[in-house]
Structure 1
């Protein structure tokens, strides 16, 4: 190391080349072109993948990304974008230009209220939006414009009330608001929405370190409540949820809770 230069504490991450990206390009069973760069220790959005911006699906989940550039708007054909389990504290306004987006997963990042732009309401074809495991105290009112939205994940945030904009989503089928500091009396605000509880059984080795720690913390809280006295069975399963697309893919059983699903 050269004299006088400080060694950076930031992880260098893995450099993705165009050749590597092309090898990661797959064809899904329904004929979609999917670029899967998940779990590759990427710290910076790879500029080289802009040459593959005609893909239908992009998976950058389980990396170390802190920023998504405005150039994401070049992926005009995207119907599926997975950014879960990164270190994002902000979503670019350019996200609103992905007008064909069907599914957006932003779960398990560092998103606060100011990090989620109003432009997210421009994604009029969106049916699935996962904002769970962030630090949101509220969500943009523009989400009321997502008239095609079916599934919304808001679990493990800092919401203190049920978002009013949810009343304006005519096709919303499921919303997960677990593990938010919402008073019980405010729960009645979404009585027309089906609130699902899912138990995903996965191998610990299949979860990223952050998700695994959250599961262990939840389990410890549940055990603590049990040691203080009897509790309702519903609360036990609430603490055992692992709301992550990894868990969704590794679903092995739902017999304990009697329910299954994607949240």
Structure 2
């Protein structure tokens, strides 16, 4: 249905009982009053890609509203009325001109807050009182610090702080008991080497690549199957160049190169040179068609946890092989002062047996191992523990008590009590 049709249908009163209302790209300067007639049913409201600068007080009458998107508008602050919505748990105001985040705008049941690509320099201390908060997306702002009160956000699991102004990370942040996925590239505390890993990396002229079908698309870029002039089939990722929830694509490209070669990493073959629009790009090994994503990304409902196929069943040998492969990759990355930041099954491809590869360095960050190294490694160990838990939950023979105990240690709420990846590898080798 066209956007104009949705708006017309709404105004004609033909959407009674609707649970979702998508008004993105309708040229709105205000919220249609007919939308509030859906107060008893509406759960998801998308107002993105309009010309909105504020929201009316009537928004608070939407008693069942759980998800609100107001991205790509003209807001300069998050409207206070957002905090008055009684059931709201997911709020997205990406790519506006937001400078102010009032304490009053924070909903009681907030789980997921997206303020990516704005101009926020300060956050309210009351954010620390959002006990249900799990996912916080703040990349591409002007933040130099976070409120100390946020140490109380003990359910926070995923944080994106890339492309801000942090000179150091708060100590309390790295001690949060459930934090597992963190992106901090593009900050002074995560200086990215100019040419790390690029020595000897082939520069592939754009004119020698013949792009075929699109294989996939992510927030940072598009992936194509391509044919090189020598007849070799490869995959080519062309970066979009804009800030994403994970940060800047240029940091992803450098991290992909710095990760180096590993049997369980998608192999980087070269760097694109001479793109007609000046875009950056990587040439990578083309994967065999038998490989598929191990899981899908988190849903609105699951928030931070991946969504697996209902029919996925694994054997103990497969769980051990995949766990060992990923622990080995993580140990190499952290040995190079590199945190993946998005260590998830949806960033893994699997051949249906024991073979698996890790990709997508969009959330990766460089760090100084002597400053925050062990803390950041053990943070990523929790992400590994979540992955292991998900694999064991789908294991037909439960994987054995030793694997469950290792998984629980990786999820220890006391960050210092978690094993490092070297120890994890030793434990897996003994199974």
Which bin holds the TM-score, normalised by the shorter protein? 0.5 to 0.7
57, 72, 81: which one aligns with 2:68? 81
The 8 Å contact of residues 56 and 80 in structure 1, kept in 2 or not, is answered as yes
The 8 Å contact of residues 220 and 241 in structure 2, kept in 1 or not, is answered as no
Q: Which runs of 5+ in 2 are unaligned?
A: 185-216, 223-239, 261-279, 282-298, 300-345, 348-357, 364-382, 384-431
Distance in 2 separating the partners of 1:140 and 1:160: 14
Partner SS state of residue 191, structure 1: helix
Partner SS state of residue 90, structure 1: coil
Give the aligned CA root-mean-square deviation in angstroms. 4.0
Distance in 2 separating the partners of 1:175 and 1:26: 37
Residues 15-50 of structure 1: CA deviation (Å, up to 9, x unaligned): 9856345789599xxxx8111112222232222212
Aligned to 1:191: 174
Distance in 2 separating the partners of 1:57 and 1:156: 25
1:152 aligns with 2:136: yes
Q: How does 1:234-253 map to 2 (within 5 A)?
A: none
Bigger proportion of residues as strand:
2
Instruction: Return closer, same or farther for 1:104/1:24 CA change in 2, 3 Å cut-off.
Output: farther
The 8 Å contact of residues 21 and 35 in structure 1, kept in 2 or not, is answered as no
Residues 201-239 of structure 1: CA deviation (Å, up to 9, x unaligned): 25979xxxxxx66349945x659x97xxxx8459xxxx9
Q: Which runs of 5+ in 1 are unaligned?
A: 1-13, 206-211, 246-252
1:257 aligns with 2:360: yes
Q: Report the alpha carbon displacement of residue 85 of structure 1 after superposing the two structures with TM.
A: 1.7
The 8 Å contact of residues 128 and 151 in structure 1, kept in 2 or not, is answered as yes
The 8 Å contact of residues 69 and 91 in structure 2, kept in 1 or not, is answered as yes
Distance in 1 separating the partners of 2:34 and 2:84: 20
Instruction: Return closer, same or farther for 1:21/1:182 CA change in 2, 3 Å cut-off.
Output: farther
1:117 aligns with 2:134: no
The 8 Å contact of residues 82 and 104 in structure 1, kept in 2 or not, is answered as yes
Instruction: Return closer, same or farther for 1:94/1:131 CA change in 2, 3 Å cut-off.
Output: same
The 8 Å contact of residues 68 and 88 in structure 2, kept in 1 or not, is answered as yes
Larger radius of gyration: 2
